Amino acid sequence: MCFGWITLLADYLSGASVRVMIRHLAVAISFFAALLTEPATAESPEEERWSIAIHGGAGTIRREDMTPEREAEYTAALQAALDAGAEILRNGGSAMDAVKAAIVPLEDDPKFNAGRGAVYTWDGRNEHDAAIMDGRDRSAGAITGTTTIKNPILLADAVRGDGRHVFLSGAGAEQFARDKGLATVSPEWFGTKRRKEAVERLRAHELSALDVDYKFGTVGAVALDREGNLAAGTSTGGLTGKRWGRIGDSPVIGAGTYADNRSCAVSATGAGEYFIRVGVAQEICTRLRFRFRAEIDEAQASVPKDADGMPTYIVHASEFGLEAGEVREEADAVMAETGALGGTGGVIVVTPDGHAMFSFNTPGMYRGRATSKGVNEVAIFAED
């Protein structure tokens, strides 16, 4: 609108220098207006665009090693968690609430290595790590080494909401939880027979965690709500037989968990030491943000110029969005980089355009996704 009126004024004024000056002004106004205008994904609520993806761990998970009954149990658990998060988004709730709604039932399910199903440390304890991040303002909360908090993801969110700190550990995190009135349970509540047997085999035969577990049992969720906001959360019991207060990538903001409205939300599961070294979650988001900017710049460079050498049109960010294939390329590239170092695992990714996808370099990954476009699916094996 500004460009049209100012150009019209220029046509009535004499002198080439005046016209050039006004055209420069028009382009500048148009450019800054484009910067100040929110993308269409955030200002088009009529689209009711939302999406969510969840995971329950990745690793050596093969169909031939799982009974049909066990597969059905995992599928049902994933679907229940996915439905809980999707229902929040479908009814106009926030991405943050959807992430928590999806993760809590996975923490309460002993089939997954988080919350009640957490693995045992070398010393025979169940220790929990969790993190959550809000893409609106990049506020984040993380906790590690708790042993009595029923739902670690809720404690991570309480840390985020309090705002004074990002990362709390051990006894301090437990005290903070009590101060906030979060539900606590006896440490014995988290123990399961299957996890106990796994750590006993590890200690008796001096095995590695992979020898007894075959997978990285983290749970996580990422979501986009109808307001265009992103969120990510991750919760885990860590590695079977872990020692010396080991901390993996799950509670590390930027490694296992990250959300930024400008690019994406990511939750990871895998060999934490490698995911930390690559900074997997933030690396994916950063690559997507710069790829988006590069495509806008390329489009702007192709716009015809007028007689004074000025672009005849300013490309607006709302006219663009990365395609699903482009998002997958970047996620796959980061996973390939992680794999080249020796790290295995996977990620779930949701973008401002509503793409919900997975990338993993293992035989299987417990996963699911749902979108406002009608997608609703859960899967376990790589060939699914």
Other Cβ atoms closer than 10 A to 41: 20
Would strands 257-260 and 128-134 be described as parallel, antiparallel, or unpaired? unpaired
Other Cβ atoms closer than 10 A to 68: 8
Separation CA 202–CA 208 (nearest Å):
6
Separation CA 306–CA 347 (nearest Å):
46
* Bridge partners for 356 per DSSP: 350
Which position among 144, 218, 257, 338 bears the catalytic label? 218
Q: Which amino acid is it at 145?
A: G
371: annotated active-site residue? no
| Residue carrying structure tokens 């996973």 | 335
Helices (H), 180-238: 193-205, 209-213
Handedness of CA 173, 178, 181, 183 (dihedral sign): positive
Handedness of CA 79, 84, 87, 93 (dihedral sign): negative
Q: Pull the structure tokens for residue 351.
A: 């973008």
Q: Which amino acid is it at 251?
A: P
* Bridge partners for 54 per DSSP: 221, 368
Q: Are 343 and 274 in contact (CB under 8 A)?
A: yes
Return the closest-CA partner of residue 347 out of 339, 357, 337, 355.
357
Q: Are 54 and 81 in contact (CB under 8 A)?
A: yes
Residues classed as catalytic: 218
